[in-house]
Amino acid sequence: MRKYKGPNILAVFSAQDLLLKGIHELKRSGYENFLVYSPVPHHDIEHALHRPRSPVRVFTLIGGLTGFLTGWALTIGSAMHYPLIVGGKPIISIPPFGVLAYILTILFGALATMMGFLLNARLPQLRLTPNYDERLSSDHYGIQVFGDEESLKKWARVLKKTGAIDVRKFAPTHRHSVNVVTSHVLLFFVGVFVSTITLASCTNDNGEIGNYRYRTDMHEQPSFKKQEDPRPPVKGTVPVSGYELPIKDSLTAVRLVNPVRLSSRNADTAKVLYETYCLPCHGLGAKGDGPVAAKFQTPPDLTLPRYRRAPDGYLYYVMRHGHLIMPPYYEGVKSRERWLIVQHLRTLQRLQ
């Protein structure tokens, strides 16, 4: 006899103690082919039924192990397939790969648990049991007994006597078809899947579907080849933030007038700027004794008379364009900041 299938009756109870009595009646005579409906799981019901333990845990375990192995296989396999050293780490970097193995263990474990639950609980079901009672999910209990005509009659009598408020027979005409939507949704996903596959099989390696190019990889641009200079901007292009024109030559430069005056407010800024950008070579007092200079090349002592006499514009010009091995500073240090540094230099020279 198939379990939980075929002709059946459903006895509805309004109280849990009566339900338990009914279960005991069935159990006492060794009858096992019945299901119990309850709104919540309850320890007493489980205890009375004494059914074997759920096998869902096996699904979890197998899923978890599969995920664990998949994690290692995916990471190690792909690293060996295309050996490329990134960030100075070994090709097979166990510590970071472990993170992925861990995550996939959980992902696969959870998916397998879900599947184990659905398979074992026979869900989703397209139709509810024909004589399902809508009070069962809320505050009533039910015992559904399966079997041949004769035993059903007997059990209907027994359960009625133990206190069932209602015993329903299997009625083939009465059908709930609550769950037809499921099949529509399934169909939808199948459709999506099929069309994805179809689309994917139409694409080629250049990222084209037919004539339509959907992928824009940087290295596939029509313009420039490897090792080639990037395309220069259109003539006359200026950055939105404005652009500082180069100074023609030192003769133009010496005529420039320092637009900033040192005040108590910006003196500190000037000092910080000097000490951030200039001190490494020129030293704290601009004597050319910075910590970098000691190991590299000594710049001139800027407190010498000839630098005192040099106009502001000249010092500015050197910072703007560089001089000998001193690199130009026009990218990192803004124009106004350069003028401030000039002022600070003057302060240092005066202190001399």
Partner 1 sequence: MKPLSRNIQPSFVPPPVELPRQAVRVFWIFVLLGVASLLAGIIGIESRRVWVSYLTNFVFWSGLAQGAVILSAAYRLTNGSWGDTIRRVAEGFVFFLPLTVPLFLLSYLGREYLWPWITEPIEAKAAWLNEPFFFARVTFYYLLLSLLSLRYVSISIRPEVGLLREKGLLPSSSWINRLTKNWREYNSELETQNSKLTKLLPSILVTFGVIYTFMGFDVVMSLDPHWYSTLYGWLYMVHAFDAGAAATIIAAILARRYFRLSDHVSTGQFYDVSRLLMGLCMLCGGFYWGQYLTIWYGNLGEEIERLILRFTHEPWPYFQWSVIVFLYLFPIAAFLSRAVKEHMRSLFVVASIILIANWLYQFVEIAPSVWHEQRIPLGLLELGITLGFLGTVGLCWLAYARLVPLASASKSN
Partner 2 sequence: MSFNLSYTKTDLDLTQTLNRPKKWYYVALTLLGLGVAWGAGSWLHQILTGIGVAGKNNPVGWYLYITTFVFWVGIAHSGTLISAILFLFRVKWRAAVYRSAEAVTVFGLATAGLFPLLHMGRVWVFYWTLPYPQMGGLFPNFRSPLVWDVFAITTYLTVSSIFFLTGMVPDVAIVRDKAKGWRKKLYGFLAQGWQGTDQQWKHYTQAYVFLAALATPLVISVHSIVSWDFAMSIVPGWHTTIFAPYFVAGAIHSGLAMVILILIPMRNAFRLHEYITDHHLESLAKFLLFTSTVVGFAYVIELFIAWYSHNPWEQAIFLYRAFGDYWWAFWSLFLCNLAIPQLFWFKRLRRSTLALVLVSIAVTIGMFFERLVIITTSLAHEYIPFMWGLPDLTFTEAGIVVGSFSWFFFLFLIFAKTLPVVSMWEVKEQLDPPISGGERVGGRR
* 82 interacts with partner 2 by CB under 8 A: yes
Closest CA to 19 of 45, 56, 54: 45
CB of 309 to partner 2, least distance (A): 31
Element (H, E) at 191: helix 180-202
* 124 interacts with partner 2 by CB under 8 A: yes
The item of partner 1, partner 2, none sharing an interface with residue 88, based on CB under 5 to 8 Å by kind, is partner 1
Name which of 256 and 293 has its Cβ closer to partner 2: 293
* 260 interacts with partner 2 by CB under 8 A: no
Site string for partner 1, 108-147 (x = CB under 8 A): ----------------------------------------
* 55 interacts with partner 1 by CB under 8 A: no
* 322 interacts with partner 1 by CB under 8 A: no
* 95 interacts with partner 1 by CB under 8 A: yes
* 335 interacts with partner 2 by CB under 8 A: no
* 57 interacts with partner 2 by CB under 8 A: yes
Who contacts 277 (Cβ-Cβ below 8 Å, separation ≥6)?
329, 332, 333, 341
Element (H, E) at 186: helix 180-202
The Cα–Cα gap between 46 and 115 comes to 23
Task: Work out the angle at residue 67's Cα, subtended by the Cα atoms of residues 199 and 125, and round it to the nearest 5 degrees.
Answer: 70
Q: Could you tell me which residues are beta bridge partners of residue 10?
A: 144, 168
Place of tokens 């202190």: 351
- Other C-beta atoms lying within 10 Å of the C-beta of residue 22: 27
Name which of 91 and 251 has its Cβ closer to partner 2: 91
Rounded (to 5) percent helix, strand, coil in the chain: 50, 10, 45
Which segment (95-103, 107-115, 130-138, 218-226) binds partner 1 by CB under 8 A?
Answer: 95-103
* 277 interacts with partner 2 by CB under 8 A: yes
Closest CA to 23 of 43, 2, 49, 1: 49
* 76 interacts with partner 1 by CB under 8 A: no
Which segment (94-102, 255-263, 288-296, 315-323) binds partner 2 by CB under 8 A?
Answer: 94-102
CB of 281 to partner 1, least distance (A): 27
Q: Kindly determine how many residues on this chain lie close enough to bind partner 2 according to the rule CB under 8 A.
A: 84
* 90 interacts with partner 1 by CB under 8 A: no
* 40 interacts with partner 2 by CB under 8 A: yes
The Cα–Cα gap between 148 and 244 comes to 97
* 99 interacts with partner 1 by CB under 8 A: yes
* 52 interacts with partner 1 by CB under 8 A: no
Instruction: Compute CA distances 266 → 95, 118, 260, 284, whole Å.
Output: 51, 73, 9, 18
Residues 199-228 that bind partner 2 (CB under 8 A): 214-217
The Cα–Cα gap between 130 and 16 comes to 23
* 182 interacts with partner 2 by CB under 8 A: yes
- Residues within the interface to partner 1 (CB under 8 A): 61, 88-89, 95-96, 98-99
